[in-house]
Amino acid sequence: MRLPAAGQRGRSACFWDREHRRSVSTSTWRIMRPDDANIAGNVHGGTVLKMIEEAGAIISTRHCNSGQGEPCVAALARVERTDFLSPMCIGEVANVSAEITYTSKHSVEVQVNVMSENILTGAKKVTNKATLWYVPLSLKNVNKVVEVPPIQYVHKEQEDEGRKRYEEQKLDRLETKQRNGDVILPVINPEPHTVGYSQSSLIHLVGPSDCTLLGFVHGGVTMKLMDEVAGIVAARHCKTNIVTASVDAINFHEKIKKGSVITISGRMTFTSNKSMEIEVFVDADPFVDEPQERYRAVSAFFTYVSLSKEGKPLPVPQLLTESEEEKRRFEEGKGRYLQTKAKRQAQLQQAAQH
């Protein structure tokens, strides 16, 4: 299927554009309630991530069922690095818009933007931009990945750029899975500001309300739990109000089935003057009639900042590393921090030139 030629683009072309856009984009709205926020009134990063994933799941599932293939549900495979550009507060309305920007044979890339609105003043601000990858799983056979209907590109460059992003995330997912053998062990009488002092775990029994039509956990539910654990680690380290600043790529390695017991574990890996990096794992134990052993399902790095009562950034206590492993993880975290900082400065310089 091709775009109409330039000379043919009249009312029929405008109608086609509208119909095509409906199939590859969607928007949802929701008012932020007290149970969405921390004690300072800032909306939890996990709540925002859950809304982002829900919008992505809606648009990708809708698109994957728009062709002639068998019925399917889109499952979250990966979330690219997500920055929290501005805090959202209780009473504000979140507008989450999602658009499909690339499709491969078996995956869908979705770009999601989150905007908050103060409905008393009308003031609006962009709070998040995220990129998510989904794979469509058959309703008849959950282990079967079905083919994705292709989308139309206005310019060939858009397809080429999307293919490049697809190959990059595919390689990164493989590398992340290969280094996922770490476990977090309890520490007896740890000293303040050490890794052992702030590390935390949460155990959750996966119920029907956590799951998709296929009986597997929603990606948004998992990310919300991960953010909760990372927030506990950050709060224990700082003893102040903390907020999510960014999430590095979240990789969903294996599906988590209804009835499983999941353990979400977090530990501090790096601190700069004003930020903390926290590594979070999700391990799943099949619980009912399942011979499968415990496995690593999801992994990611969260970055938090410490805030005063007035919402101003505070210095972060430096992490005290003790073992060689902790020192290695600290240096790796420092490398990620410096890389992100350099990338952000390059983007600012590029924006200033334009």
Q: Which residues are designated catalytic?
A: 38, 227
How far apart are alpha carbons 269 and 287 in whole angstroms?
Answer: 31
Torsion angle, CA of 96/84/86/240, rounded to 10 degrees?
130
CA angle (300 as vertex; 297, 305 as ends), nearest 5: 145
Structure tokens at 238: 């700082």
Do the beta carbons of residue 169 and residue 102 sit within 8 Å?
no
Token code pair at residue 272: 């700069």
Beta bridge partners of 126: 115
Q: Is 32 helix (H, G, I), strand (E, B) or coil?
A: coil
Look up residue 4 and give its DSSP letter: P
CB 265 within 8 A of CB 83: no
* Cβ contact 246:234 at 8 Å: no
Q: Classify residue 93 by burial, with Cβ atoms within 10 Å: 0-12, 13-18, 19+.
A: middle
C-alpha to C-alpha distances, 281 to 39, 225, 231, 327, 339, nearest whole angstrom: 25, 11, 14, 19, 23
State how far the Cα of 327 lies from the Cα of 343, in Å rounded to an integer.
24
100 within 8 A of 108, measured Cβ to Cβ? yes
Phi/psi region, residue 215 (left: phi>0; alpha: psi -120 to 50; beta: rest), is left
The helix (H) or strand (E) run that includes residue 131 is strand 124-138
